[in-house]
Every structure is written in C-alpha cells, then in structure tokens.
C-alpha cells in the first residue's frame, strides 16, 4: 500500500541556523489553518520534539537510519501519511553531518530538502552555499532555501539575486526576537517549562507567514508530495549499520500484567514517545510519578527513571526523602529499576554542580557525579544484553565515579566493546543504570529483560 503526502526535510548548513524554530513555526502556521501536520525529528533528540508537538498538536517521533532503522522510519512515515496534510522532518546538525546524516534520510525516502540559512552576515555567498547544499549529493530533491535573520528588505533582495535560477527562493525571515526559542546547556528549554511557549510559537508563525513559504496553500505544497510505501525497501544509502531493527514480534505481550512506574517531571523528561508505545505494546501498564513532588512510588513491578536535568533540581531531589526511601524499599524487594543518564545520576550518593556545591542524592548506588561546563560524551551507542542488542545514544555534561566494577559497557556502532570504551553499565541487585539512552523499539526482547530480570549482562 502507498499514500502520497506533501513532505519536507528541513535542514541547514550547520547547527544554530534556526531550523527548529522554522520547523515549529511552519507546523504551527499550517495547524492554525486547520491542516493536519505531523512532525518528525532526525536523530536522537528529546528537546526539539517538545516544541514540535506543541506546534502541531500531534506526537513526534525520531527518525534515524541507524538507531531506529530504515523499516521503523518507513513505517512511521507511512502511518503519518495516512492522516496528515503535511509531513515535516527536522534534520540534525548540518545536512551532511553525521553517519548516517539527514541527507541519507532524504535520499532514502525521497524527501524534498529545504535549507534554513542564517544570512545575517552574508550576501552573494548565500547563493554559493545554497548551490553547494543543493548539488553536493546527486539525486536529492531540492525544495529551496529560506534566508533567516535577514536585516532589511534590501538585504533580502541581495540574497534572492544570489541564487541560481534552478534554486527556488522560499523567502526571508527578518531578524526577529520571536524567531528564537530559549536554550540551556543540553539544548532548547523544554516547551512545557516556558510559560509563554504557545505565544512564542504563534509569533514565530506570524513572522514566517510573510514569506513565500508561509504563504503556500495546500495545493501549492503538492509538488513536494512523496509516495510513502508501507513496508517497501527503498534505495538505501551507502552507509553501514542501517539495516532494519527488530519489530515487536519477538516478545508480544511479554510484559502483560506488569506495572512500570515511569519518572516524569521537569527533572526527568528525556522520554521517547516510541519507548512508551513499546512498553505498552509489550503489555505493560504505565503509571507516572514525579521525583520532585511525590512522596512515594505508585504501586508497581518495575521502575524506569529516564534522563533529564537532576542537576538543576538537586536540592529538591535531595530533600524528597520520602520518595528516596520508597525507591530504596522497591530495590530491597528485588524489583527491577532501569535508570538512564540523569536517572542514573540521582541514584548515586552525591552530585557536585558547576558552582562547586555538593548535594546529597539517593544513595542507591555508591559513587558521585560531577557536572562540567563542557560536553563529556556524545554519539550513538549500543548495549548488548542476553536477549539482543539495544540501540541508542549518549549525551551528557557530567562524569561519574564509583567503587563498583562496571558489569559491561556499551559500544559504538559496528565495534566490539573494549575494556575502556563506551558507557559503563552498573548493576547492584535489581538496579541497572548507565549514561546510555535506549531506543526501546530497536530490541523489544531486550526491553523485556531490562524490566523483568535482575540477572547479569553477558561479558
């Protein structure tokens, strides 16, 4: 089966050009016109999707030819095309950055590519840069270039004239504070924490409405239509490790009857929607709790503490002794805990924040965490368990020390684990924790193992 739907991959020459704001603004603009918009994010990213979801009113999923796999990407795009009037895919970093990169995704699925380019300090070079992006990879469908942070109408005219005749001009967004979303050390501030988030999106949509891109009607978008095929294998990019990942068939309903408590609040918000879907498809019942506000865990068989910002809430987390004791009782009862990155951090004895202040934490795992001003680790990772290999990534500004010996380590794609490579995976009783962020649909059988077994990982 197939379904045609207008679609755009929104990219840039590099990070910081404004593509997240433009993607969210475009989604908001079309949603305000009553159109059904589905947005996806290329690569492992927790923060941008919060803005995309607020703008579109629909769940946002990640697309990554390695982490999520071509088959997963294809199926999600096909399902979105069944209901959407427009599909937007925000790229990651620059168009050709990463392996696989956003250009690989566009090539694999035939997505038209639109470049958002910060033109604040350029004129004729704008056209050269657009031409390079357009022609560097033969076979890409080029939708055009959008100039961002433009100073004046005269500046916009200079940029427009710099483009070749076969490179469509999608307009200029004038320099405007409304076209900037708030940031902090891990990326954009989560939309739910910004009081005027919806107003910011509306202001950004208004700014975009003055461009040729923003003025497009639904029928104008049809020349960007993509024929999404269900289950078909496309012309895959020549990149290693892009084979399809597992579906839910290996372990259907394997978590039936189990209740999993998921930490979710301002301190722990790095949650892939697909991970929640995967747990539910495996039969688990999900309940949510707030480590910042709740005095105890809800009744449950297992706990998942995802990543987030425990360093920003260290005093409140330390003061919540009721929740700390409840987690300790859960562990004492031999019930599984899976903790990722920030979720792992809160389980250690203490954390030292960048101002040099040390805060006591929950003491479930022996050791301490230290925050740094610079990124400590970044990139795709995979974790081998008895039941299979989970794919995911790592991204953190802290380091940890512990007297424990790591049970195992994650590995980079297509490389065997080395003694000092990858992220440490710690285990103490039924608790397993790592800086590793897992993409659950990559190996549901391994997810079942995480939440139903406390046995050791293989060496």
Catalytically active residues, by annotation: 341
Q: Are 170 and 143 in contact (CB under 8 A)?
A: yes
CA distances from 382 to 105, 238, 278, 389, 411 (A): 20, 21, 18, 7, 5
- From the list 81, 65, 92, 66, the residue with the least C-alpha distance to 9 is 92
The dihedrals phi and psi of 318, each to the nearest 5 degrees, come to -65, -35
**Rg from Cα positions in the chain:** 23
Q: Scan for tokens 């940890």, then name that residue.
A: 400
CB atoms within 10 A of CB 79: 15
């Amino acid at each position: 089966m197939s379904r045609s739907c207008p679609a755009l991959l929104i990219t840039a020459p590099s990070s910081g050009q404004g593509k997240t704001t433009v993607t969210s603004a475009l989604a908001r603009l079309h949603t305000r016109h009553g159109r059904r918009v589905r947005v996806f994010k290329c690569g492992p990213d927790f923060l941008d999707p919060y803005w995309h979801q607020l703008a579109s009113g629909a769940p946002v999923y990640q697309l990554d030819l390695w982490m999520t796999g071509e088959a997963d990407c294809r199926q999600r795009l096909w399902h979105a095309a069944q209901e959407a009037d427009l599909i937007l895919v925000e790229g990651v970093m620059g168009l050709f950055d990463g392996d696989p990169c956003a250009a690989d995704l566009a090539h694999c699925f035939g997505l038209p590519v639109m470049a958002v380019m910060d033109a604040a300090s350029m004129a004729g070079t704008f056209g050269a840069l657009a031409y390079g992006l357009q022609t560097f990879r033969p076979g890409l469908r080029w939708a055009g270039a959008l100039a961002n942070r433009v100073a004046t109408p005269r500046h916009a005219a200079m940029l427009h004239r710099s483009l070749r005749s076969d490179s469509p001009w999608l307009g200029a967004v004038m320099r405007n504070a409304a076209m900037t979303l708030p940031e902090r050390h891990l990326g954009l501030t989560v939309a739910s924490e910004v009081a005027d988030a919806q107003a910011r999106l509306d202001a950004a949509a208004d700014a975009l409405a003055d461009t040729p891109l923003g003025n497009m009607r639904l029928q104008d978008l049809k020349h960007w239509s993509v024929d999404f095929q269900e289950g078909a294998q496309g012309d895959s990019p020549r990149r290693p490790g892009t084979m399809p990942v597992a579906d839910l068939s290996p372990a259907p309903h394997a978590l039936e009857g189990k209740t999993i408590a998921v930490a979710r609040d301002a301190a722990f918000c790095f949650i892939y929607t697909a991970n929640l879907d995967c747990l539910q498809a495996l039969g688990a019942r999900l309940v949510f709790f707030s480590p910042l506000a709740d005095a105890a865990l809800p009744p449950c068989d297992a706990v998942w503490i995802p990543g987030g910002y425990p360093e920003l809430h260290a005093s409140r987390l330390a003061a919540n002794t009721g929740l700390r004791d409840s987690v300790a009782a859960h562990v004492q009862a031999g019930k599984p805990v899976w903790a990722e990155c920030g979720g792992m951090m809160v389980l250690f004895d203490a954390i030292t924040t960048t101002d040099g202040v040390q805060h006591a934490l929950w003491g479930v795992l022996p050791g301490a965490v230290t925050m740094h001003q610079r990124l400590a680790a970044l990139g795709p990772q995979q974790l081998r368990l008895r039941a299979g290999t989970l794919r995911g990534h790592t991204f953190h500004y802290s380091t940890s020390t512990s007297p424990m010996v790591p049970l195992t380590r994650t590995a980079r794609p297509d490389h065997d684990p080395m003694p000092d490579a990858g992220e440490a995976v710690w285990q103490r009783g039924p608790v397993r924790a790592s800086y590793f962020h897992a993409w659950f649909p990559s190996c549901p059988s391994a997810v079942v193992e995480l939440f139903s077994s406390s046995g050791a990982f293989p060496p």
